[in-house]
Amino acid sequence: MEEIIYLNQKALKFLPWVRADFISEQGLTILRKKKVGDVVSISVKGKIYYAYFEGLDSKVPLKVFSADTNLISEHIKRALTTSIRIRSKIKIDSNAFRVFFSEADDVPGLIIDKYDDLVVIHLTSKGLYKHIELIESVITQELNPRHIVFKFGDSPIQASISKIVKEHDVLYEVNFASPQKTGLYLDQRINRKFLRDILRGNETVLDLFCYSGGFGLNALKAGCKKVVFVDESSKSLECLKRNLELNNISFDRVEIYQQNVFEFLKQKLRHSFDFIICDPPAFTRSKKHLPTAIVAYRRLVRGCLNFLSKDGFLLLFSCSHHVSLSDLERIIYQEALKNNFRLPRVLARLFQSPDHPFKINIPPTLYLKGVFVHIS
């Protein structure tokens, strides 16, 4: 007879993630006999779900993958083919996109990105390791890539391969030897295009936390007079320089600073900018540290306003689920009022690209938010 693991009612709010403190003592006894990757049945408020076991040493020992079947191999195969079919039905003006997005595509801990003829399979859950051959087989059958490389947890990709990605008419070199994330921020694709479309072509632009230059490159392609790039990572700026060369952009139109953004914004203003893009890393990955993150955003916005022209535009992003759009807008409004009573108008709210779907019942899957404001 199948053993059922009982959870307390609080677990329902956090599914598909099941923390150890949600599991009854009876459930923990069962799990002590299980191996990582085993499928178990769990019950919350009388409803049965199926999850795979991550190990009791994990912060999230169980990850729910279905409420319908305990046949995880069939579930993974169906989820993969469904995600690929969905992507095939939307226009993606690039040879790089996210094929599969973890919980949003119904397999927590599995992320798959495609860069031209190379596919990166990122497994963040040990419970999925035993299904590697199945995942590779489905991807080979459906996408027929030339290369497949694996990334496990936070470890770097073990592949000395580089690819040229074309996004709209902008070229990027993606080097998988030491990438951030899986090589390029694919989730910002539609927002880079948004910036490109609204620029008139004669503006000055400041690209903060520029990484490989995605936003600034689009500004230059739009004809902007000058773009200033700032990032403290030397490897990111080396990648930026290669991308400038790839796109035949004159270095006379750019200034590049390897510097901490907060320190850069403390400098005495030499000239103001018509557009500022600020896309920082996540300042918090937990609700506990949200107040600290809010302080960091206030410092950023305050600095940006000092560098912004009197009739300028600010594009501010958060990639942390815990920092909301309303948080960003409130910070901009309050800091703008302190800055010579400059009044912000929200012109657009931005989110992650559609190949990074989110589920309404799993709020953390909507993690990327941006606000585009005019400040006069």
Task: Count how many Cα atoms sit within 13 Å of the Cα of residue 22 in the half-sphere of its side chain.
Answer: 22
| Residue indicated by tokens 């040879």 | 95
pLDDT value at residue 183: 55
SS3 62: strand
Instruction: Report which residue type is found at 119.
Output: V
What is the rounded distance in angstroms from the CA atom of residue 45 to the CA atom of residue 102?
Answer: 25
Sheet with 39-44: strands ordered across: 4-6, 39-44, 47-53, 62-66, 17-18
| Spatial distance between the Cα atoms of 150 and 121, rounded to a whole number of angstroms | 5
Task: Give the SS3 label for residue 67.
Answer: coil
Residue 95 amino acid letter: N
Nearest to 351 by CA among 328, 374, 332: 328
How far is it, in rounded angstroms, from Cα 111 to Cα 117? 17
**In this structure, how many other beta carbons lie within 10 angstroms of the beta carbon of residue 131?**
22
Question: pLDDT of the chain along its 376 residues, tens only?
Answer: 578 999 999 999 999 999 999 999 999 999 999 999 999 999 999 999 999 999 999 999 999 999 999 999 999 999 999 999 999 999 999 999 999 999 999 999 999 999 999 999 999 999 999 999 999 999 999 999 999 999 888 777 767 788 999 999 999 999 876 545 555 899 999 999 999 999 998 899 999 999 999 999 999 999 998 999 999 999 999 999 999 999 999 999 999 999 999 999 998 777 899 999 999 998 887 888 899 999 999 999 999 999 999 899 999 999 998 999 999 999 999 999 988 767 899 999 999 999 999 999 999 999 999 999 999 8
Distance of CA 25 to CAs 14, 127, 290, Å? 19, 22, 32
Rounded Cα distance, 176 and 158, in Å: 8
Tell me the DSSP string of 352-368: --TTS--BTTBGGG---
Res 286: pLDDT: 81
DSSP 193-236: HHHHHH--S--EEEEET-TTTHHHHHHHHTT-SEEEEEES-HHH
Asked if 48 and 41 count as a contact pair (C-beta separation under 8 A), the reply is yes
| 261 CB-side CA count, 13 A | 26
- In the prediction, which pLDDT does 1 show? 54
Residue 224 in tokens: 């902007």
Give the sheet arrangement for strand 96-101, strand by strand.
Answer: 96-101, 110-115, 118-123, 147-152
Specify the pLDDT at position 307. Answer: 94
pLDDT value of position 284: 82
Q: What is the per-residue pLDDT for 343? A: 83
Report the C-alpha gap between 64 and 72 in whole angstroms.
10
> Burial letters for 204-226: b for 16+ Cβ neighbours within 10 Å, e otherwise?
bbbbbbbbbbbbbbbbbbbebeb
pTM above threshold 0.85: yes
pLDDT for 216 equals: 97
Q: Quote the pLDDT of residue 177.
A: 67
Report the pLDDT value the prediction gives residue 178, as an integer from 0 to 100: 57
Contact 169, 217 (CB under 8 A): no
Cα separation of 165 and 36, whole Å? Answer: 37
Tokens 């080396």 belong to 238
Return the pLDDT at 285: 79
